[in-house]
């Protein structure tokens, strides 16, 4: 949520800064700004409401020249999107500029004190208090002023600060929100995440909480915010490819990422299956004491949004085949409950970004209470990945589109692997282990078959895009997919309302809404609850509801009830959600396009939700 960038070195700062903002745009896109220190020692700042291309247009008119600067793309928390509220923010005199990601929780109290002391505020943001605090502590040395200012703030921040009165350096600091330094040849890059530095450098330092960096064109120094002691940190090599952050021939990242499904599953399972032994090898978990893993008698999955639906699928898989009791909790709920945890409980965080604030806070709470903490995370080196005792990386590649699709497919795949991993050290037989692992390996080619329905789904999207409400129904393994189908439609085609329900719950409420204007998606592969779902379809039909069914290839009977059918190939019941999710992702994408929505960056959303 909010992206920040900085540059200091031999080249024009605005080149990297604008590139970085475009790459970080998924983090927030209601306004943006850039501030550059020019060769005369003045800081020039340009801001714009809306997407980065609006800022780019403005920059063409006002060329910002200079070799150090900072930039920001905003997702509004305090104050509506406007130029006035857009970052970078400056102090009273326009000497100090700051880009900030996070929330300063005690900003109200700080603001009134600063106003009393004569500071003039120009925005409604919480961020501006940091600028004035730095101003009030500034005595010629920027890092000292920032250190002193941060001692007064409560909340979360990743900041980048420049000052014309202490030029030639950028001061950065981190608490809770992510921040990295990219190391180039006589140039340094600052960004919220490494996707921004791809193509510039692959050498990256992840700042940890409580660290402050002083970056000049000749080097960097990292010190502790608490005691100013120097901290020596090694850089890591980031394995990202420029093609991962480009659209690769597609008009939208979302479509590119949905179509990457087969590759994503291949990457998630690569080298992890031992077919003859019906076993799964997960290096990230093998590092743990195996006795500890065998001792786990309860798993609590914590996640937000789409990742929580992958968690629900995981719950069903792990309980049915590994025999471990599982609960799924939303991060935003778990962190404020009084969860009952003991040393045999594993708390497993599922997160594409590895940054989601509620998931991270829940994980830390579980750690404090003595749980074994595990993770299923896509972004290597992210906060959640670093905080867990052990975990499994998705290896799904960069996901740029705000709505998570390929990471969801990969998360369910990893849960299938985990089911065999845990199951085989418990009651799962060799035969069952082999059966599941054989079937997992077929998933990439089965997804390819599902993707062949692309043309048909496009036509259906046209046919149904005029409806204002949709109901999605599924049962057992496909209940979470009903939730996911509804979530995707509301977030991507954002003028449509949709509800995802368990089939059996329909008669407890949603049935009241059904009429000819309320189409229903039924996710009904041939599985153990097929007959039950059939009854639900009859009930909808009896009320003139329109039915779009996602069914197993070869099921001709379904046409008696469904107005439209999208077929998916046959697979094991526990793996059906990996296939049935894909037509729903495509449907949401194409309806969004029909309605003229920005399907990569839907209204009001942001990808990495780093605030509560
Ligand atoms: C945001 C995104 C969703 C995502 C959720 C959790 O709301 O828009 O697509 O599912 O965050 O994100 P995470 O990175 O933790 O998986």
Using a 6 Å cutoff on CB, does residue 134 contact ligand 1? Answer: no
Tell me the two tokens of residue 236.
């890591």
- Domain 3-245, what fold? 3.60.20
- Distance between CA atoms of residues 405 and 304, nearest Å: 14
As a whole-number percent, the residues of the chain with pLDDT over 70 amount to 100
Using a 6 Å cutoff on CB, does residue 585 contact ligand 1? Answer: no
Residue 238's pLDDT is 86
**Closest by CA position to 449, among listed 549, 554, 568, 552:** 568
Ligand 1 pocket test: pick from 382, 588, 607, 610 the residue with the most ligand atoms within 8 Å of its Cβ. 607
Using a 6 Å cutoff on CB, does residue 305 contact ligand 1? Answer: yes
Instruction: Note the pLDDT tens digit of each residue in 206-232.
Output: 999 999 999 999 999 999 999 999 999
Kindly give the distance from the C-alpha atom of residue 404 to the centroid of ligand 1, in angstroms, as a whole number.
Answer: 6
**Closest by CA position to 205, among listed 226, 183, 225:** 183
User: Where is pLDDT greater, at 151 or 607?
Assistant: 151
Q: Which CATH architecture has domain 454-594?
A: 3-Layer(aba) Sandwich (3.40)
Count CB neighbours of 531 within 10 A. Answer: 9
Q: Which of 2, 45, 304, 597 is catalytic?
A: 2
Confidence grade of residue 556 (pLDDT, cut at 50, 70, 90): very high
Confidence grade of residue 538 (pLDDT, cut at 50, 70, 90): very high
Atom of ligand 1 lying closest to residue 403 CA: 9
Using a 6 Å cutoff on CB, does residue 352 contact ligand 1? Answer: yes
Kindly give the distance from the C-alpha atom of residue 607 to the centroid of ligand 1, in angstroms, as a whole number.
Answer: 6
- Whether the full predicted model's pTM is greater than 0.75, yes or no, is yes
Kindly give the distance from the C-alpha atom of residue 201 to the centroid of ligand 1, in angstroms, as a whole number.
Answer: 27
Is the distance from CB of 362 to CB of 335 less than 8 angstroms?
A: yes
Atom of ligand 1 lying closest to residue 404 CA: 9
Confidence grade of residue 603 (pLDDT, cut at 50, 70, 90): confident
Please indicate whether residue 520 is annotated as part of the active site: no
Kindly give the distance from the C-alpha atom of residue 110 to the centroid of ligand 1, in angstroms, as a whole number.
Answer: 32
Say if residue 373's pLDDT is above 80. Answer: yes
Residue 507's pLDDT is 86
Confidence grade of residue 600 (pLDDT, cut at 50, 70, 90): very high
Say if residue 494's pLDDT is above 90. Answer: no
* CATH 3.60.20.10 domain locations along the chain: 3-245
Contacts of 186 (CB under 8 A, 6+ apart): 9, 10, 217, 218
Residue 382's pLDDT is 86
Using a 6 Å cutoff on CB, does residue 403 contact ligand 1? Answer: yes
Locus of tokens 């900041």? 159
Instruction: Note the pLDDT tens digit of each residue in 47-67.
Output: 999 989 899 999 988 889 999
Kindly give the distance from the C-alpha atom of residue 307 to the centroid of ligand 1, in angstroms, as a whole number.
Answer: 7
Helix (H) or strand (E) holding 311: helix 306-317
Kindly give the distance from the C-alpha atom of residue 16 to the centroid of ligand 1, in angstroms, as a whole number.
Answer: 27
Please indicate whether residue 2 is annotated as part of the active site: yes
Confidence grade of residue 249 (pLDDT, cut at 50, 70, 90): confident
Locus of tokens 């900085």? 6
Query: Is 253-446 a CATH 3.40.50.10490 domain?
Result: yes
Using a 6 Å cutoff on CB, does residue 410 contact ligand 1? Answer: no
Q: Which of 169, 256, 406, 607 is catalytic?
A: 607
- Distance between CA atoms of residues 95 and 410, nearest Å: 47
Burial of 414 (0-12, 13-18, 19+ CB in 10 A): buried
Angle 492-497-503 from CA coordinates, rounded to 5°: 105
Atom of ligand 1 lying closest to residue 407 CA: 16
Atom of ligand 1 lying closest to residue 384 CA: 15
Kindly give the distance from the C-alpha atom of residue 306 to the centroid of ligand 1, in angstroms, as a whole number.
Answer: 6
* CATH 3.40.50.10490 domain locations along the chain: 253-446, 454-594
3-state SS string over 103-158? CECCHHHHHHHHHHCCCCCCCCCCCHHHHHHHHHHCCCCHHHHHHHHHCCCCECEE
**Closest by CA position to 577, among listed 443, 420, 387, 486:** 443
Using a 6 Å cutoff on CB, does residue 89 contact ligand 1? Answer: no
């Amino acid at each position: 949520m909010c992206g920040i960038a900085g540059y200091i070195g031999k080249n024009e700062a605005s080149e990297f800064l604008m590139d970085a903002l475009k790459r970080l745009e998924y983090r927030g896109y209601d306004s943006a700004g850039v501030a550059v220190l020019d060769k005369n020692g003045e800081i020039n700042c340009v801001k714009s409401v809306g997407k980065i291309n609006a800022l780019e247009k403005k920059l063409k008119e006002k060329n910002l020249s200079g070799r150090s600067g900072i930039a920001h793309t905003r997702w509004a928390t305090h104050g509506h999107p406007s130029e006035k509220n857009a970052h970078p923010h400056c102090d009273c005199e326009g000497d100090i500029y700051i880009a900030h990601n996070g929330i300063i929780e005690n900003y109200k109290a700080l603001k009134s004190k600063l106003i009393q002391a004569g500071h003039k505020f120009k925005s409604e943001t919480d961020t501006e208090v940091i600028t004035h605090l730095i101003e009030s502590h500034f005595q010629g040395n920027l890092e000292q002023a920032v250190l002193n200012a941060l001692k007064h703030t409560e909340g979360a921040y990743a900041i980048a600060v420049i000052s014309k009165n202490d030029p030639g350096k950028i001061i950065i600091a981190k608490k809770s929100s992510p921040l990295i330094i990219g190391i180039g040849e006589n140039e340094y890059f600052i960004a919220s995440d490494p996707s921004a530095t791809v193509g510039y450098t692959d050498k990256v330092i992840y700042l940890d909480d409580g660290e402050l960096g002083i970056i000049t064109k000749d080097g960097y120094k990292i010190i502790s915010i608490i005691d100013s002691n120097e901290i020596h940190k090694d850089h890591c090599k980031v394995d990202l490819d420029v093609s991962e952050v480009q659209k690769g021939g597609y008009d939208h990242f979302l479509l590119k990422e949905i179509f990457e499904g087969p590759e994503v599953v291949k990457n998630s399972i690569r080298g992890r299956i031992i077919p003859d032994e019906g076993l799964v090898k997960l290096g990230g978990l093998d590092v743990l004491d195996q006795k500890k893993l065998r001792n786990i008698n309860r798993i609590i999955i914590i996640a937000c949004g789409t990742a929580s639906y992958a968690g629900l699928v995981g719950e069903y898989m792990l309980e049915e085949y590994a025999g471990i009791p599982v609960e799924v909790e939303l991060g935003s709920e778990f962190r404020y409950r009084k969860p009952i945890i003991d040393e045999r409980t594993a708390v497993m965080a599922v997160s594409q970004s590895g940054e989601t604030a509620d998931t991270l806070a829940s994980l830390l709470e579980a750690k404090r209470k003595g749980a074994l903490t595990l993770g299923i995370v896509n972004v290597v080196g992210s906060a959640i990945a670093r905080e867990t005792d052990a975990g499994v990386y998705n290896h799904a590649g960069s996901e740029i589109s705000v709505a998570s699709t390929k990471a969801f497919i990969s998360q369910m795949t990893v849960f299938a692997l985990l089911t065999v991993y845990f199951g085989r050290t418990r009651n799962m037989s060799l035969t069952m282990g082999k059966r599941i692992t054989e079937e997992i390996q077929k998933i990439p080619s089965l997804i390819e078959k599902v993707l062949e329905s692309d043309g048909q789904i496009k036509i259906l999207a046209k046919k149904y895009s005029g409806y204002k409400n949709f109901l999605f129904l599924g049962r057992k393994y496909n209940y979470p997919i009903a939730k996911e189908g509804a979530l995707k439609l509301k977030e991507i085609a954002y003028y449509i309302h949709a509800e995802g329900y368990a089939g059996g719950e329909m008669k407890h409420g949603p049935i009241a809404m059904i009429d000819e204007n309320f189409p229903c998606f039924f996710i009904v592969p041939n599985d153990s609850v097929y007959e039950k779902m059939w009854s639900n379809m009859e009930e909808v039909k009896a009320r003139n509801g329109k039915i779009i069914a996602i069914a197993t290839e070869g099921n001709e009977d379904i046409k008696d009830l469904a107005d439209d059918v999208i077929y998916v190939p046959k697979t094991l019941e526990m793996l059906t959600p990996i296939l049935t999710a894909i037509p729903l992702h495509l449907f949401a994408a194409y309806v969004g396009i029909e309605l003229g929505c920005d399907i990569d960056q839907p209204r009001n959303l942001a990808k990495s939700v780093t605030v509560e």
